[in-house]
Structure 1
Amino acid sequence: MALDHKAASAQLAFEESIIASAPSLVQQDGESRNTFVGRCLLAQQNAAVSIAVKAESGEVIWASTYGTRRNAEGLAVAVTKDPEAVEVVVPGFVAEADKEQFITNAKADRAKIVGESSTDTAESLAMLATPPTTSTVFQAASISKPISAMAIMRLVQRGILDLDTDIDVYLATAEWKLPIELPESVEPEAKTTLRQLLAHTAGTSVHGFGGYNRKDARTNKIEIPSVVGVLNGAGNSSRVALHGPPRMYSFYSGGGTTIAQLVVETVTGKAMRQVLQEEVFGPLGLENTTATLDDSPNGGDFVCGHLGSEALPLAGGYHLYPETAAAGVWTTPTDLCKIQDAVVKSLNGEPVNGSIYLDASLAKEMLTCRFAGPDGVAFGVGWVVEAETSRFAHSGGNEGFICDAATYANTGAGIAWMISGEGYSQVQDAVNAVKAALNFPVATKPAKKEYTLPTSEEKIAGTYLFKESSLSDQYIRVSRRSDKTVFQFSTLKGEVVGKPAGTEGEDAFTFNVMPRVTSAKFKVNSEGQTLLMIAELTLVKQPTYFKRTTVTTTTTPSVADGPKTSKIVKKTEFYVER
């Protein structure tokens, strides 16, 4: 069937960008364009890519999948190579000081893959041997978080859960309680809630999870921990605890989402994967979405995760994630588009598959930011929301997988894509080409600003409010006492003495405060305002008003031997110190 104009434009833009990223490759006689694009992907560390684009109606107008389920040919070649001759591609985001360790880890990962994956086959992995299609599932990684938030909102809709109830109420019968890892001088002054956990504002630890090698699990070399085990640190991640100021700003925590999973499982008495099936996958008619820990997801119609510059398949095919709510969903870009379309339709009071999926007020709640975030981007309930464009989105990355899904709430248009591999930049460039071809709105990039340092430590004392004051009424108060800089967070009882990073220059105005606040930096902008920069957010020192009264006495000489006269003038002025 011929594509319409928008769909054809999207496909052309995507494929041309991918082909341009591998200029040394040439399409062979008799080779299909899809196959050629797959070879170009492989040249940039990607074994497979799937993408879907939806129109303003919410309808998916174009979807396609390229590449291979498992790069068996590349693995066969890798076995014959000298490991020391293989170049390790270091991503641009890796700091210079961490590059050597990154390369060491990459070589160790490659050795494990070559040694253990070489005995795998499509049959042994219980996967289909045919090329992947648009029905083939990839790991959704952290996009599992907003999907799980949607399930929770359905439970809220039925009165089973409440976003603002203390989680201790729900976990009264659970064998776990949130540990506190704050400096001894402070303690939280309020409850922890599902709203905070789903907006990453609870101050909880553990950014993400590494998963568990499927092959090791199948051969009983490792044991997959329970949800409580994960929270207690019994697996391959640290224990989850409160170790930062809650209810202040979004600070990403997969650990917090796993607490939300425990709440759901404790209250419902069901596994999170069952709740997801009942509250999301089933009602939305998602035929290619699952959250099972069972072997061979989607009836074997899946792709393996791939790592490294050679895009080699993971041993056992993929990692297992007992952290279902945070990272455990398998899906397709087409189903991701349907999931986000359900939010838009609910927001507009429109039915999904014949009935209202979420009440409009709850859909609005999901897309309402109540906490501050960097550069106009913050979390609602589960979703990342970009106020300028009405875009709500989420990205993700599991071992061997990368993905992203975004929709514009005001129009319903959107795009979702999933990668098996590590060549993020190649695909992101192609996705940007699609957005440009379809005239998707792009948020204004904030102009680069120049800052100076405060003139003295005393100048940093004061009360700081978030620049996005509409999103947060919280504050941080900074005092100077006995040559020490003291921080008071509005959501914590007590104070913390900041440890300066150094004694000169910027280091003198950079402080370590607590584990979840790695650094607090003070700077001055071009308007003379003193700023506190913390967790990629900016707080502004509030003006301090002072009252000054002056008394002036004026004496008038006597006239004709009369008495001298005096006039006393009292003048009161108010001035501001920033």
Structure 2
Amino acid sequence: MKKIVCLALLTSMSLLSQSSMASESKLSDQELNLLPLVQVQGEKYIASTIESEMKKHNLPGLSVVAVKHGQVVWAQGFGLADKLTGRKVTADTLFQAGSISKPVAALAVLKLVDEGKVKLDSDVNQYLKGWQIPSNKFTKTNKVTVRQLLTHSAGLTQHGFPGYQRGTNIPTDIDVLNGLGNTGKVIVDKAPGEGFRYSGGGYTVLDLLVESVTGQSFIDYTSAHILQPLGMTNSTFAQPLPKPLWSMASAAFDGSGQQIEGNWHVYPEQAAAGLWTTPSDLALYIGAIQSARAGKSVGPITPKLVKDMLTFHDNDWGLGPVLKSYEQGLAFSHGGKNKGFTNIFKAYADKKDALIIMTNGDSAGPVIRQLEIAMSDHFGWDLSTPKIVQKHEFTTPKLKQMTGQYIYDKDSQYSFKLTYDNQYILAYDASRDHTSQLIATSDGELIDINDGSTVDIERDTQGEIKALVWNGQYRFVKSKL
């Protein structure tokens, strides 16, 4: 287990001293109209409220921030952070960021690049101490680079991490990379640079990179050189979370709204999933990027760093965040999912507007999507708009033919099971304990009604289903077993 050394303890004291400093500015229910992300043409929808949607989807708590012209114009907590004590969510309640950890952690790597201590396109193994990416036939010609790790194009395995129950043995990063934790060994099983494949394992390598190059723990380096200079005093990569901060942290809740055992899981894979933060602190991270984009350095974020960060790579990935061009301009974003926490941020690069939503439930997806749409409409953004679709009805034989187990063709550890009920086609992902609700929009396409993901149906010459392709890139082959 990593030691939480003096600087991390000082950070936790700083966090405590800053508690309750994030003031809440509120919007009334009448100012926001929540409507579904996916809307079937011809059907009528009645606008809902945040509280009613939280109740409907068994979501205990939510915290939200809206930034307009560089100012926080809305910061509000909803619901409960802890059902056992009745503690409410406030604007400074800490949430696990999940994969939003990645674009924040990427700043540590990019700072080292800015300082000339790391090169983006060099073999990452030359920087690593105590562990090396294993050489094999895929790395014989093309070595794994830092850029590839940042953009999920290094060919490394391990999509995500389930975390560890508090009180159990927590592995080190090297243990995780060697497959000695609760996930498989992180290896290269496709040629580096060949294409995009999301890899939490790759970001765990970056965790080790920062420690190897700086000689400091990841907690200490990010606290001193990233979080504190950005003013993110309510944030920490400390895993496990130091005891003085427990009273500030939200518990995690499963899909039925039950508080998980131990209140939350521990994530030693800090760069990939280990950040504790608030929406207000993420607004500071976002604002620094926006300022540097306009030519003004903020803390460790320089214009050059941001230029590299917001450069499109394979699959519209930047060096840390996801990139997308809207009519109103370039935007950067990232989602985050740990056990019992679901989050998202979206921000424009060239105007100082952003939304950040953090929640403490596995069931939060539909609420987040509806809130994104409502915020975009209210503040005049095009970051999220509803999808209007026509519903296609499958015959019962076709529905039965579709059911079964589907395995990701690039990582056999990732799969889901497809079933159906009277209303939806259901895809259950056991690794995340998450069920996607799908409807057909044609004979060859499905759509997730909660997050808008499209699923293309591949059939053979006899019309039998071969595979389902999620969002045009993740191909899941139907198991023959």
Q: What is the TM-score with the length of structure 2 in the denominator?
A: 0.70
- Give the 3 Å change call, closer, same or farther, for CA 425–180 of structure 1 in structure 2: farther
Q: Hey, what does 2:307 align to over in structure 1?
A: 364
Find 1:69's aligned residue among 55, 73, 81: 81
What is the deviation of 1:287? 1.9
Q: Which runs of 5+ in 2 are unaligned?
A: 1-24, 37-48, 390-457, 476-481
Letter in 1 for 2:59: N
What is the deviation of 1:361? 1.7
Letter in 1 for 2:318: G
What is the deviation of 1:330? 0.5
Give SS of 2:170's match: coil
1:204-215 alignment runs, 5 A limit: 204-214=156-166
Asked if 1:414 is matched to 2:371, the reply is no
Q: Hey, what does 2:409 align to over in structure 1?
A: none
**Matches of 1:18 and 1:301 in 2, distance apart?**
32
1:417-436 alignment runs, 5 A limit: 417-421=357-361, 422-436=363-377
Give SS of 1:346's match: helix
- Identity score, percent: 30
Asked if 1:48 is matched to 2:61, the reply is yes
Asked if 1:234 is matched to 2:180, the reply is yes
Letter in 1 for 2:289: V
Find 1:175's aligned residue among 107, 125, 130: 130
- Give the 3 Å change call, closer, same or farther, for CA 187–419 of structure 1 in structure 2: same
Find 1:306's aligned residue among 243, 253, 278: 253
Give SS of 2:88's match: coil
What is the deviation of 1:298? 3.2
**Matches of 2:188 and 2:198 in 1, distance apart?**
13
Give SS of 2:101's match: helix
- Residues 361-382 of structure 1 show CA distances to partners (whole Å, capped at 9, x for unaligned) of 21111010132x1xxxx11100
1:305·1:420 contact (CA, 8 Å) conserved in 2?
Answer: yes
What is the deviation of 1:8? 6.7
**Matches of 1:383 and 1:37 in 2, distance apart?**
27
**Matches of 1:288 and 1:54 in 2, distance apart?**
18
**Matches of 1:340 and 1:279 in 2, distance apart?**
16
What is the deviation of 1:300? 1.9
1:531-570 alignment runs, 5 A limit: 535=474
Asked if 1:155 is matched to 2:93, the reply is no
Give SS of 2:291's match: helix
**Matches of 2:35 and 2:238 in 1, distance apart?**
32
- Residues 389-429 of structure 1 show CA distances to partners (whole Å, capped at 9, x for unaligned) of 41100001000000001110021200000111123202320
**Matches of 1:393 and 1:10 in 2, distance apart?**
26
Letter in 2 for 1:368: T
Give SS of 1:50's match: strand
1:385-396 alignment runs, 5 A limit: 385-388=323-326, 389-396=329-336
Letter in 1 for 2:337: G
Give SS of 1:343's match: helix
1:318·1:399 contact (CA, 8 Å) conserved in 2?
Answer: yes
1:366-381 alignment runs, 5 A limit: 366-371=309-314, 373=315, 378-381=316-319
**Matches of 1:143 and 1:318 in 2, distance apart?**
17
- Residues 518-545 of structure 1 show CA distances to partners (whole Å, capped at 9, x for unaligned) of 999xxxxxxxxxxxx7547xxxxxxxxx
Give SS of 1:402's match: strand
2:65·2:75 contact (CA, 8 Å) conserved in 1?
Answer: yes
- Residues 493-519 of structure 1 show CA distances to partners (whole Å, capped at 9, x for unaligned) of xxxxxxxx99745789x79xxxxxx99
Letter in 2 for 1:195: R
Q: Hey, what does 2:404 align to over in structure 1?
A: none
- Residues 64-98 of structure 1 show CA distances to partners (whole Å, capped at 9, x for unaligned) of 001111223xxxxxxxxxxxxxxxxxxxxxxxxxx
**Matches of 2:373 and 2:473 in 1, distance apart?**
30
**Matches of 1:153 and 1:66 in 2, distance apart?**
35
- Give the 3 Å change call, closer, same or farther, for CA 534–439 of structure 1 in structure 2: closer
Q: Hey, what does 1:244 align to over in structure 2?
A: 190
Give SS of 1:391's match: strand
**Matches of 1:535 and 1:445 in 2, distance apart?**
23
Q: Hey, what does 1:398 align to over in structure 2?
A: 338
**Matches of 2:135 and 2:236 in 1, distance apart?**
34
Q: Hey, what does 1:26 align to over in structure 2?
A: none
Find 1:166's aligned residue among 107, 110, 123: 123
Give SS of 1:160's match: coil
Find 1:264's aligned residue among 206, 210, 213: 210
Deviates most, 424-433 or 438-447: 438-447
Asked if 1:17 is matched to 2:34, the reply is yes
2:152·2:197 contact (CA, 8 Å) conserved in 1?
Answer: yes
**Matches of 1:299 and 1:423 in 2, distance apart?**
22
Q: Hey, what does 2:444 align to over in structure 1?
A: none
**Matches of 1:164 and 1:207 in 2, distance apart?**
23
Letter in 1 for 2:132: K
1:9·1:437 contact (CA, 8 Å) conserved in 2?
Answer: no
2:372·2:384 contact (CA, 8 Å) conserved in 1?
Answer: no
**Matches of 2:469 and 2:63 in 1, distance apart?**
39
**Matches of 1:519 and 1:178 in 2, distance apart?**
30
- Give the 3 Å change call, closer, same or farther, for CA 433–503 of structure 1 in structure 2: closer
Give SS of 1:156's match: helix
- Residues 145-172 of structure 1 show CA distances to partners (whole Å, capped at 9, x for unaligned) of 000001211122222222122111112x
**Matches of 1:142 and 1:390 in 2, distance apart?**
21
**Matches of 2:35 and 2:78 in 1, distance apart?**
11
**Matches of 1:535 and 1:312 in 2, distance apart?**
31
1:138·1:330 contact (CA, 8 Å) conserved in 2?
Answer: yes
What is the deviation of 1:317? 0.7
1:180·1:243 contact (CA, 8 Å) conserved in 2?
Answer: no
- Residues 212-260 of structure 1 show CA distances to partners (whole Å, capped at 9, x for unaligned) of 011xx2xxxx311000000011011111111123213321100000011
Give SS of 1:313's match: coil
Larger Rg: 1
Q: Hey, what does 1:349 align to over in structure 2?
A: 295
Letter in 1 for 2:60: A
Deviating above 3 A after TM superposition, structure 1's stretches of 4 or more consecutive aligned residues are 7-14, 36-40, 294-299, 442-448, 501-508, 533-536
Find 1:278's aligned residue among 224, 231, 238: 224
Q: What is the TM-score with the length of structure 1 in the denominator?
A: 0.58
1:188·1:246 contact (CA, 8 Å) conserved in 2?
Answer: no
What is the deviation of 1:11? 6.5
- Give the 3 Å change call, closer, same or farther, for CA 437–344 of structure 1 in structure 2: same
Letter in 1 for 2:80: T
Give SS of 1:229's match: helix
What is the deviation of 1:350? 1.9
